[in-house]
Structures are given as C-alpha cells and as structure tokens.
Amino acid sequence: MKSIRTWVTLGVAGAVLATGAMLMGSNGATAAGADKTIAYRKMVMGATGAHIGAIASVVKGETDYAAHVGDHARALAGLARMMPDIFPEGSGEGDTRAKPEIWTDWPGFTAAAKALETAAMDLAMKADSGDMAAIGAGLGAVGKSCGGCHKPFRKPAK
C-alpha cells in the first residue's frame, strides 16, 4: 500500500502536469491571461534595462566590475531570444506600450530582436578581450539596437 506521502506527492505532480498541459494547449496570452503576459514581459524588459545599466556603470568608470560585462552581455543575448515569445498575438491591449505594428510587421519585429542578440554577442566577445574602448563601442551598438525596436514598435510614454 502506498503511504499518504506518496499520494500527496503524486497529487502535486499531477496538478503541475495539468497546469503545464493547459499552458501548452494555446499561446501564452490566452493561457496565462494577457495581463499576466504583459506583466511578465515588463519583468523581462526591466531585466534588460538593468543589465545595460550595469554595463554602462562599468564603461563610465563608476564601478570596477569589468569582469562582469561579458556575463551581462550574454544575459542580454538570452533576453533578446525571449523577446519574440513575450509578445503573443492578443497581448496588445491593456497596460502596455506595445504598438500594433509588432503584429502587422512581425518579421521586422523579430529582426529587431535578432539585432539586439547579435549586438549583445558581439559585446560579449569584446568584453572578454578586456579592451575598454571596444567595450564602449559595443555598448553603443547594443543601445542603438534597443532604440531600433522601441522607435517603430513601442508607444511613447503617456
């Protein structure tokens, strides 16, 4: 006979699987709720802002964490890879600055995410070289790629 503990464990595992199946059944916006999807993508974008801010702090000489720049840059590349996922169709309404152009020009939008990924990987390579001038230039290119998406695809702040 199985113990109570085993049954409880199986029950929890079942609930987790059921939730997973529900989430996989449709796209992120409807399964998780558009408002939760928007909140999630703001967390991802906020993390993006934090990593670039941390790199800028090193490049400006405010802090002495040059050895961290490569990992920040690699984190940015990973976040860029998440970007196409966090704008599912139907997540353009509500507390969001996402422009409808994201979905009418999806190839342009994903290209803008790819441009950030490429610039971030390039910065990571430069970071590992330790050449501060090259790192500064790499940071500039990453910053440009943020604007390259925000300009066409993000509404101005209210």
Report, in Å, the least distance between residue 102 CB and ligand HEC.
Answer: 6
Q: Is the CB of 1 or the CB of 157 nearer to ligand HEC?
A: 157
Position 46, amino acid: G
Q: Is the CB of 45 or the CB of 59 nearer to ligand HEC?
A: 45
DSSP 91: -
Task: Choose among 131, 132, 113: nearest CA to 56.
Answer: 132
Q: Is the CB of 5 or the CB of 158 nearer to ligand HEC?
A: 158
Q: What angle do CA 24, 25, 26 make, to 5 degrees?
A: 95
Report, in Å, the least distance between residue 21 CB and ligand HEC.
Answer: 27
Report, in Å, the least distance between residue 76 CB and ligand HEC.
Answer: 6
Q: Is the CB of 10 or the CB of 144 nearer to ligand HEC?
A: 144
Task: Catalog residues that contact ligand HEC under the rule CB under 6 A.
Answer: 38, 41-42, 45-46, 48-49, 52, 76, 83, 96-98, 109, 112-113, 116, 142, 145-146, 149-150, 153-154
Burial class (CB in 10 A: 0-12, 13-18, 19+), 95: exposed
Question: How far apart, in Å, are the Cα atoms of 51 and each of 35, 45, 59, 109?
Answer: 25, 10, 13, 21
